[in-house]
Structures are given as C-alpha cells and as structure tokens.
Structure 1
Amino acid sequence: MSATDTRVAPAATLRTAAGGESTRWVAARCREVPWLTAATVFTTVAGAALQVLPVLLLGRVVDGVVAGDGRSVLVTTGILMGAAALLGAAATAASTYLIGRLGADLLAQLREAAVRAVLGMPSARIEQVGRGDVLSRVGDDVAVLSRGIRTAIPTVFSAGVLVAIATVGMFGLDWRLGLAGAGALPAYALALRWYLPRSAPLYRQQRVAQADRAQALISGLNGIDTVRAYRLEGAFREQVTDKSWRVRELGVQVFRIFGRFVGRENRAEFIGLVLILVVGYVLLETGAATLGDVSAAPLMFHRLFTPLGAIMFTFDEAQKSGASLTRLVGVLGESSQERLVGVAPAASGGPVPHPVTVEGLTFGYPGAEEPVLRDVSLSIPAGGSLALVGATGAGKSTLAALIAGIGTPQTGSVRIGPHDLAGTDEAGARALVSILTQETHVFSGPLADDLRLSAPLATDTELTDALRVVGALPWVGELPDGLNTTVGEGGERLDVTKVAQIALARLVLNQAGVVVLDESTAEAGSEGAAELEKSVQAACSGRTTLFVAHRLTQAMAADRIAVLDAGRVVEQGTHDELVALGGRYARLWRAWREGS
C-alpha cells in the first residue's frame, strides 16, 4: 500500500454495536409505538404493586388482631388481599402478553432491517467476513433473541419492576427496616460487579465461535466435491470438531461463572434477611415499630427472593439475547464509506459498451503476507473482448472480481469508461458491469420470475427474446407451462447447461455495457460446452467482455489475451501473436491441444 493511501481495511467480521447504541435503537423503536409501550409499562408496574399489596395488608391484619379490631375490619382486609391477588395476577398476565407483543414487533423490525442491511452490503464485504458470520447473525442471533423475547426478557423486566416496588414497600413499612433490607444491596452489587465483566465477553466470544463453526461447515459443504476428490474429509472433520469444541468450552466457562454468581447472590439474600430480623427485633423490643410492620418486613424481603431468583436463572438467557441484539444492531451500522457516487442505469435502448482500463492495480486479502495481484495494467476497448489465462492461483478470478466492482484495490485503479469504481457504490457498479461466475443458481418458482431477477419490468416477449438469443428457447418451449413452469426446488430439475443458459439470458436482459465471465461454462460437460460457448458469444455481442478462460478455445475467440502468472501480467496479445511468441501461452496452448 502506498504511503498516500489512507484507506483503512474493514474488519474481518461484521460490526458489533455497543450496549448504549443497542439501547438507543430499542428506545427509538418503542417511541414509534407509544400506546403499546405505555400499556406495557403500566400493566407491569400495576402487577408488581398489586403483588406487594397483600403483604402490606397482612401487616395491618396482625396489628388489627393485636389491637382487638372487630371481625368486620379483618374480613374487609382479607377481601382486599384476595382482590389484590386476583387483580395482580391479571395485570401480570397482561404485562407478559404486552411485553411479548412489543418484543415480537421489535424483533420483526430488527430482523427485516438486518436482512435488508446484509442484502445491501457490498459483495466484497460479504466475501471478506465470510458467510458463517453473516448467516449466524440473520439466523442464530435472531433465533436466540426470539427465544429471549418469549422467556427471559419479560421475566427480567417484570421481576426488576417487582424488586423496585417491593423495596419501596419496605421503606413504606419503616425506613429503618428499609435500610436493613438495603444492607443486602452492596452484596448484590459486588456479585453483579464480579459477574458482568466476566460473562459479557464470554457471551460475545461464544457467538463469534458459533459463527466460526458455521463458516467451517458451510465451506466444507460448498466444496464437498473437492473435499472428496482430494480425500480431505478428515481434515475438514477435524476443523469442524475444533470449532465445535471451542463453542463447548465457552459454554462450560459460562455455566461455571453463572454458578459462582448464584452463590454470591444467595449470600446477599442471607445478609439482607438477617439484618431485617435483627433490626425488627430491636425495634419491636423498644416499641419503635408495630408487630405488623416487623412481621411484614421479612415477608416483603422474602418476596424479593422469587423475582431475584427468576432474574438470576434467566439472566443467562438474557445475556445471550443482549449479545445477539448488539450483533444484529451492529449489522445495521455496516455501510460502505468508500463508495459514494451512484451511476445512472443504461438507457432502455440497449447496452452501451464502455472501455475498461486497469492501471497499476495491486490487491491483497486481509491477513495475507503477499498481494494476490501486483502492478497489473491492461485495457479493453469499448465493445472488445479480453481473455484472462493462467494457472490456478494466478489471480484471474480476483482480477475479474475487481473489474466487476467487487472489492477495492490497495493501489491503482479500475475505470469503466469515465467512472472510477473506487468512487462508485455497488448499485452503480452493477449498472456498469455484470458478472457471471460458474456458481449460477436457479431460484425456486416460475421461470419467468427467475429471469426477471435482472430485469423486473421485462415483458414476456422480452424474456422470450433473451432465451432465443442464448439458444434456450427450444427446451423452454417443451416445458409444461412454458415461462410459467416452476423450476428449482419442487419444480423442473434443470441440468448445468440449462442453468447456465438461464444465467446468460439474465445477462441479456441486463443493460450493463461491460460483462465479466468468470469460468461461467466450467461446470458444463464436453457436450454442453460447445453449445454454451455459442450462447456466451451471443449474450456478449455488442458489449465489452472480459473472459476468465476455462477452455483455451474461449481465449482463442477473444480479441486479445492476457496471461497472468503469480499476480502479474506476463504476456498480452492476440492468440496468433502469443503462439508465435513461444512463451508461456504457447506452452499452455500446446499442452491443451495435445491433451484434447
């Protein structure tokens, strides 16, 4: 990287938000539904107050018995206690429902926003962080947060409010009894102070470890044919096992720390109860408090045990939910800060070819010791074609991706006509360049919908014309429902040649004037290869085209050829020129011809 290049490489994982940022996001969403939020808070506070009221009334019953009050007073107090208990149960049930509903609304908004943010990310960012991190956020983190919203979060919120109300009630009995109960607070605070700094990082590490495990599984499954071909099953199994053990070890550490936290909380409860009993005895002996108040105080403090226990035993799940929340909110903050300029889409009259100019391009992946590409310079005239040739690992696919606007070089530039891709957002890059790789995919649904992925407003006539250009119309005409035939999962199963033709038809429908084909016919067999090469030539007609050549017949058909070796362009010229030169390309050509 040059001394004048001030760009900072993005992180190797997606962003994780701070706790304050996540809290602000939740608060902002709650303000959007003020009535639901207000009803949730009101029912929670009312339910907690009504649960505490019977304990306060019990103290009045004790004082009434000691004072010799009439039976009617005791009956009335008993009725009030029963009514408070019933109303408290109803309010608590309503609170649980409203918290769940509010949480479900927030989760739905967060999930949609996170998926939208992921779909809007630059392709280079997705490739950099790995699919495991992305999928773990929009999959596992959503599932963890959903489970927390149904169970832990309502429990923690309701129990927290109940603890606050009960504490106020104790001070309402007698401020000295309230202070005695508050004597347990330092022990609680010390327990939390010990637990939180140790548990929160572990939960974040656990979520990262789960993402790493997902990435290991995905990479192995995506390349399963290669894994089997090279007998690498044991190595990949060992890799997945190592990642899984890491997740297990973190889970054991979390459980061990939580167990020690529960012991500290129990000690805090013991301290508070002993202080209340001792202070209550002294107050009663000196006549400074009534028997009802002294009797109600330990019951009130004991009333805290249940909500505090609920908080402790669901705090584990709440911590997991909090960690998942910060990861999901962090996704919303992902943005491309380097590309700011959009590009207007091509006119509907057809693609407009642009010249492609690569100057002094150097690119390396984060963490790599050596760059993949070094000082690469080449050009393709408007409407012309260039084939990239070289051994595996020479940098062909990386160069193709950079020309397609996927990634940003450390030095040098890629220009499509007058546009420097370093200053163009991904939508603008897609308006200029279309890329087609060997990893084509047919989505489940009508064939017409699959084709319209690249041109949502295309008519059936335009779809038919695109299929005719790439030579797919004959077999499409034999489908049961033509363009309306369901393909993909649950529909017509298509071979690799037909799938590639659908991808090429999308390319025809797209109006980008520059096309990058990264071994797009590599998966086709020898019988389908010749047919696909004709389809490729037809689809790219009138466009500036870059081929990553899988077969040298593709390179032979291009206007010019560039030979890459160890990330450098070592030869450029036409097929005949390079064969006559007798260099690297000539040797590749002789070897390929003899092999054929």
Structure 2
Amino acid sequence: MSALLPIAGTAQVRRYARDLFRRNPRALGIMVGLHVLAALAGLVGPRLLGDLVESIQHSKGVEAIDRLAAWIAGFVVLQAVLTRFAHLASARLGERVLADLREEFVERVLALPLSTVERAGSGDLLTRTTRDVDALSRCVRLAVPETLIAVITGILVLVAMVLVSPVLALALLVAVPVLVIGTRWYLKRAPEAYLKQNATYSTVTDGLAETVEGARTVDSLRREQQRIDRTDTDLHRTWLAEKYTLFLRTVWFPVVEVGYVLPVVAALLVGGALYLNGEVTLGQYTAAVVYAQMLIDPVDRLLSWLDELQVGTASLARLLGVAEGEPERSAAEVPVPAGTGIEVRGVRFAYVAGREVLHGIDLTLTPGERLAIVGPSGAGKSTLGRLLAGVHQPTAGTITVGGVSLDDLPLDRLRTEVALVSQEHHVFIGTVRENVAMVRPGVGEDEVRAALAAVNALDWSLTLPGGLDTEVGAGGHPLSSAQAQQIALARLVLADPHTLVLDEATSLLDPRAARDLERSLAAVLHGRTVVAIAHRLFSAHDADRVAVVEDGRITELGSHDELVAANGPYAALWRSWHGERTPADRGETSADLIADHKGARATGAASF
C-alpha cells in the first residue's frame, strides 16, 4: 500500500482558516454587519408580540393593536430583505475564499517533488483534489457562513432574553450541561474518525486507479478476482469508517434534540410560575417563551453544521498536508551554484527503510562530459539517474551541483540545472505554442520557433491546421509519439538546463522514429553534460566514460575502449549484447576486440 501524503496539524488548519478570511476584511465586515442587522430585526418581533399581548390584555384599543401588528409585519419583511442580502454577501465571501484556497492548493500540488507523489501514489492525491476539495467547498460556502450566522443570532437572542427578564434567561441554563457534555463527547472522537474515513476513500481510489491503468496486465495474468477482492476489502474498510462516524452522529444528534426542548419547557414552567406570582408580566412571559423557541434554530443550525465543519476541517488538513515538510525559501535564501560540475559523494538510497538499492556511490561529472551508465537489469541504473536529476534525495551522502546540494535548490531552480528526459512525455491541452512556452511564460515567438527548429519540429508544426496555434492534447489535434516527444524536447531547449539525464528517451519508439528523434536529441545535447542510462549498449559506445553499475555499486568506470580492454564486467555485457563468445573462446586478444569496435564506430554505430 502506498504511503499517504502528510496531514496538517490542528493549529496549522486553524491558523490558515483565519488567514483566509482575514484577507477579505471588507467583505467579511459587510457579511457580519448584514447578519447582525437581520438578527436584530428578527428579535424585535417577539418583543412587539409581548406588547401586543399586553395591549389585548389591557384592552388598549384596536388602533394600538393594529399599529403593533403593522410594526411586527414590517420587521418581518425587513428581516427577510436583510437575510437575503446577508446570504448573498456570505456566498460571495465563501466563493472568494474558496477560489483562493483552490489556487493555493494547485500551487502546492505542482510544487510537490515527483518522489513524494510516487511514494504516495495517485489515489491519495486524486482523492484530495476531488472529494476533499468538494467537501471543503461545501464547508466554506455553506457551513462557515451558517455557523457564523448561528453564533451571531444565538448571542443576540440571549441578550434580548436577558433584557426582557434576567430570571427567565437563567432557565436556559438547564440545557447547557446536556449540550456541553454531548458535544464534547462527539468532538473528542469526530476529527480522527473523519480523517480515517477520508483516508479510506484514498485507498479505494488508489486501488481503482491501479486496476484501470493496469487493466491489460490484469487481464493477461487473469488477476481479475484478485483485483475484485482488493476493491471489496478497501470498500469494507470504508464502510467500517463511515459506520463509525454514523454511530457518532446517531448518539450526538438525539442528545442535542433533548437539549433543544429543555429551554422551552423551562421557560414555560418557570415563566408561568413567575407570572402567577406577579413577578413578570404576561408580555414578558410571552416574549421570553418566544425567544426560547427562537433559540432552537441558531443552536440547531450551529450543531448541525458542526458535523459539516468536522468534515471540512479534515479535508482542509489533508489539503494543507500536501505540502507539509516542504519549507518555502525566500529568493535571498536560495543558494547559487558556483559552476555546473556535479559531485556524488557516499550516496546511498533505499525506497524502503532497511533495503538499500544503492551503496556508497562516488562519482564526479565534469561540464560537457558524456557519461553512460550501464549494468544488468535491477542493478540501480535508473535509480542513480533519478538521484542525479534530483527526483529522489539520497538517504545518505550528498549530490552537489556547483558546490550546492540538490536538496537545497527549489524545484524551479533545480530544473534550470538538471533535467530528466525519459520515454514518458505529455502533451497538455492547449496550442503547440503554449505547450512549448510553458517552461518560460511570456517567451517570444522567435524563441519558440527556434526551440522547435532545434529539435527538427518546426516544419511539421507549421503544417498543422492552425500552425503553432493548433489545439493539441486531449480532444485536440492528434500527435504521433515522435512528435509529442519533440514537443517535450523543445521545452527542454527553452528551459536550458546544463545537465541532462537520459533514461532511454527513445526506447518506446519504432526504429525509424527513434533515429529521427536521436537526430533531434543531438541538437539538444550539444554542449551539455549528458548522463545516459543505457539499457541498450549502443548508447555507451561513443560516451566519454562508461560507469558499470552492479548490485547498487559502480564496479567499473572508464572509456568504452578501456573497459573492453580490461575484459571485466563491461566487456562481458558488451559481448553478451552482441551475442559473442569470449575472446578466449575465439582466440582473440583484447587488442583485437578494441580494433573490432573501432571499426564498428567508423561505420556509423548509433550514438547519443
């Protein structure tokens, strides 16, 4: 199972939530002000109703009664109008806050190191970008404003009741123990329960994504039932998590319902007794009972949306946790490499603790050098390449460029120093021009054309239906694999890294497309430091040096001719790749073998 991305702490969530709303002080002030006015308008009605009852009791005349009834109707209409505009203000603020949060989340996701995403798997990230964002959207747009409204209304109702009769207001305290104890019991368990529930959603999404992406493999190996069992297990865990949160609600909600009824009952009983004793008027008694009844709505709204706030808080913690542990640096703190040479010292790496893949790698790359990394499958070649490109960080040792550790360089700066080129490439939805220029927004037309020309892609891109403005990507004009890779290489030309790590960038293409793409690569590689992960040994033939990786260690390092002459592991790989017998079997010397390879080079052997 993939390791889930981190989750932000409670203090960080609260601080971030406060900061989000503080960025919009004017909108927040308008929203709160409108809700206060709406609540005040609603509080006038019960007080006037009490006066109306007393007017009828004392027979003050139809005219006075009509006047009070008109005032009550007027305040009801005023409350309705103010409530409408208050809700509009809440919606505007909620959408603005939600937009800020979504934009920041996208920035956090795009700033994640690739190694972090790979460790977590796509399921957790997809769940956070879909389900958690949706849950938080509902929380910000509805739960937060509704809760704020409930708090404001509840406070004003309590104040109004105290003004009517402090003694009757004390009757409301009967509900406090029930509500406090029940709510504390719920809040003690709910945050962790909802975090666990959301994590199970990530596991389900992760398993489904793996099944869909590997559908052909599942079918060819007849592993359908295994994947079904995995999904059933994941769904069962989700059901258990949801069952527990439902249990929390089924205990808490009935307790809360009892807490609603108690204040009204207390107000009726205590108020009735006080009225009979002549300590309060009938008007005060009526107003107090209505206020007690009015208090049910804000308390009910507050506690009902409190459950939604728990869901939203859990989602916000997961969204903020995406960038947890990735400290931001100011421009002044970013170190500047003093050169382009790369030094690897004592590097060790393990994907899983206690199971090292690389053991004590030492290597020096001089600017402009072409290094080929070769070795048997599973030896650690690609892992070493990804470390050199800064995709992964060593578990021990250092990798520096110009004397600065790759770990100390922010991602945008790192990619101007070292870039990884693999057979995987992506065409984004947009025009050809946008796809190329995305690495340097605002770059001029001439530079985009020059980058395409450098990889032999300008001619065919200009023949597209809309030229460089042709829409490509999903739903757009289709591009071949070779054309898509050329677009990716054109981006590299604009990014202009001084070091490139090539992990068989042409291995998935047919021979003709591969040859065309290798000619394009030659333009990109000119004058740069190149590290080629050579799964096919012809890439090592013309390298300045060849590093042989076996069992996570560099066992040989030298030029092609030197390693062939040494008749060690590289020479054995070379002979095996050519299907040759050993020199001793054929009666050849190392010098004969070198001569054969020089002849092959003269006839145009493939190179990088």
Taking structure 1 as the reference length, what is the TM-score of the superposition? Answer: 0.88
- Tell me how large the CA RMSD over aligned residues is: 2.9
1:441 partner SS:
coil
Aligned AA (2:245): V
Give the Cα separation in 2 of the matches to 1:167 and 1:549: 76
Correspondence 1:260 to 2:245: no
Partner of 1:342: 334
Question: Which residue of the other structure, out of 274, 277, 298, is the alignment partner of 2:289?
Answer: 298
Q: How far apart, CA to CA, are the structure 2 residues paired with 1:473 and 1:94?
A: 56
Q: Report what 1:357 is aligned to.
A: 343
1:183 aligns with 2:174: yes
1:294-336 CA distance string (max 9 Å, x none) = 2333332222223333334433323212222333344576533
Is the 8 Å Cα contact of residues 132 and 319 (structure 2) preserved in structure 1?
A: yes
1:166–1:300 contact (8 Å) kept in structure 2: yes
1:255 is paired with a residue whose SS is helix
Q: Counterpart of 1:414 in structure 2: which amino acid?
A: I
Give the distance between the partners of 2:329 and 2:165, measured in 1 at CA.
63
Distance 1:396 1:233 in 2: 33
Structure 1 partner of 2:366: 381
CA contact (8 A) 2:337 2:401 kept: no
Match of 1:171 in 2: 162
Q: Which residue of 2 aligns with 1:70?
A: 61
Are the counterparts in 2 of residues 341 and 428 from structure 1 also a CA contact under 8 Å? no
What is residue 471 of structure 2 aligned with on the other side?
486
- 1:82 is displaced (CA, Å) by 0.9
Distance 1:337 1:45 in 2: 40
- The equivalent position to 1:526 in structure 2, one of 508, 511, 516, is 511
Aligned match of 2:316 in 313, 320, 325?
325
Q: Secondary structure at the match of 1:382?
A: coil
Q: Deviations over 1:485-518 (max 9, x none)?
A: 3222232211212222222222233322111112
Which amino acid in structure 2 is aligned with residue 372 of structure 1?
A: V
Counterpart in the other structure of 2:133: 142
- Gaps in structure 1 of 5+ consecutive residues: 1-10, 347-351
CA drift at 1:70: 2.1
Q: Is the CA contact 2:415–2:495 (under 8 Å) kept in the aligned structure 1?
A: no
Residue matched to 1:446? 431
Residue 403 of structure 2, aligned match among 418, 428, 450? 418
- Pair 1:317–1:117, CA change in 2 (3 A): same
Structure 1 range deviating more: 309-318 or 407-416 = 309-318
Whether 2:6 is the aligned partner of 1:14: answer yes
Q: Is the counterpart of residue 431 in structure 1 residue 416 in structure 2?
A: yes
Q: Distance in 1 between matches of 2:293 and 2:407?
A: 65
Separation of aligned partners in 2, 1:580 and 1:296? 103
Change (3 A) 1:54 1:142: same
Structure 1 residue 453 displacement after superposition: 2.5
Q: 1:552 to 1:233 in 2, by over 3 A?
A: farther
Go from structure 1 to structure 2 and tell me whether the alpha carbon gap of 1:329 and 1:45 turns closer, same or farther (over 3 Å shift): farther
The DSSP-based 3-state class of the residue aligned with 2:362 is strand
Q: Say if 2:171 and 2:263, in contact at 8 Å, map to a contact too.
A: yes
Distance in 2, matches of 1:464 and 1:345, equals 30
TM-score using structure 2 length:
0.87
Q: 1:248 aligns with which of 230, 233, 239?
A: 239
Q: Give 2:83's aligned residue.
A: 92
Percentage of matched positions with identical amino acids: 33
Question: Alignment partner for residue 270 of structure 1, among 261, 273, 276?
Answer: 261
Does the residue aligned with 1:479 lie in a helix, a strand or coil?
coil
Mapped partners of 1:332, 1:287: distance in 2: 66
Whole-angstrom distance in 2 between the partners of 1:584 and 1:223 = 35
Tell me which residue corresponds to 1:497: 482
CA drift at 1:360: 1.0
CA–CA separation in structure 1 for the residues paired with 2:354 and 2:225: 27
Partner residue in 2 for 1:200? 191
Preserved contact between residue 452 and residue 490 of structure 2 (Cα < 8 Å): yes
- Cα deviation for residue 87 of structure 1 reads 0.9
Q: For residue 279 of structure 1, what is the amino acid of its counterpart?
A: V
Alignment of 1:90-239 (within 5 A): 90-228=81-219, 230-239=221-230
Q: Helix, strand or coil: the match of 2:355?
A: coil
575-584 vs 561-570, which deviates more? 575-584
In the aligned structure 2, how far is the partner of 1:290 from the partner of 1:439?
82
Amino acid at match of 1:398: T
Please show how residues 487-566 of structure 1 align to structure 2 within 5 Å: 487-566=472-551
Q: Label 1:376 to 1:173 Cα distance change in 2 as closer, same or farther (>3 A).
A: same
Using the TM superposition, give the Cα deviation of residue 382 of structure 1 relative to its aligned residue in structure 2, in angstroms: 2.0
Distance 2:426 2:202 in 1: 24
Q: 1:97 Cα deviation (Å)? A: 1.1
After TM superposition, give the deviation of residue 134 of structure 1 in Å.
Answer: 3.4
SS in 2 for 1:564: strand
CA pair 297-206 structure 1, distance change in 2 beyond 3 A: same
Q: Per-residue deviation at 1:393?
A: 3.3
> Which amino acid is 1:538 matched to?
A
The answer (yes or no) to whether the contact 2:335–2:408 under 8 Å persists in 1 is no
Q: Residue 344 of structure 1 contacts residue 428 of structure 1 at CA under 8 Å; is this kept in 2?
A: no
Partner of 1:4: none
- Contact kept, 8 Å, 1:338 with 1:422, in 2: the verdict is no
Q: Partners of 1:558 and 1:429 in 2: how far apart?
A: 25
More moved, 482-491 vs 575-584: 575-584
Q: Which moved more, 1:582-591 or 1:142-151?
A: 582-591
Cα distance in 1 for partners of 2:329, 2:218 equals 37
Aligned-partner Cα distance in 1 for 2:337–2:212 = 37
What is the alpha-carbon distance in structure 1 between the residues aligned to residue 337 and residue 82 of structure 2?
57
Point out the more displaced range, 202-211 or 29-38. Answer: 29-38
Does the 8 Å contact 1:344/1:431 carry over to 2? no
Structure 1, 397-406 or 95-104: larger mean CA deviation: 397-406
SS state at 1:520 partner: coil
Distance 1:234 1:468, change over 3 A: farther
Give the equivalent residue in structure 1 for 2:599.
Answer: none
TM-superposed deviation, 1:387? 1.7
Query: Tell me, what secondary structure is at the counterpart of 2:92?
Result: helix
Residues 338 and 523 of structure 1, relative CA distance in 2, 3 Å threshold: farther
CA–CA distance in 2 between the matches of 1:218 and 1:584?
41
* In 2: Cα distance, 1:66 partner to 1:413 partner: 90
Q: In 1, are the aligned partners of 2:337 and 2:402 still within 8 Å (CA)? A: no
- Per-residue CA deviation, residues 124-171 of structure 1 (Å, 9 max, x unaligned), is 343344443334334332221222333333332222322222222222
Mean CA deviation greater in 93-102 or 210-219: 210-219
Is the 1:53–1:84 Cα contact (8 Å) retained in structure 2?
Answer: yes
Tell me the secondary structure at the aligned position of residue 361 of structure 2: strand
- Structure 1, 214-223 or 486-495: larger mean CA deviation: 214-223
Kept in 1, the 8 Å contact 2:5–2:321? The answer is no
Question: Structure 2 regions of 5+ residues with no counterpart?
Answer: 581-608
Corresponding pairs, count: 577
Q: 1:21 and 1:508, CA in 2 relative to 1: closer, same or farther beyond 3 A?
A: closer
Aligned counterpart, 2:555? 570
Aligned partner letter, 1:498:
Q
Contact residue 383 and residue 545 of structure 1 kept, 8 A: yes
Contact 2:124 2:202 in 1 (8 A): yes
514-523 or 232-241, which deviates more: 232-241
1:158/1:149 CA distance change after superposition, 3 Å: same
The residue type equivalent to 2:249 in the other structure is F
Deviation at 1:276, TM superposition (A): 2.3
Measure the CA separation in 2 of the matches of 1:457 and 1:81.
Answer: 62
Contact 1:277-1:298 at 8 Å conserved across structures? yes
Cα distance 1:169–1:465, how it changes in 2: closer, same or farther (>3 A)?
closer
Matched, 1:405 2:397: no
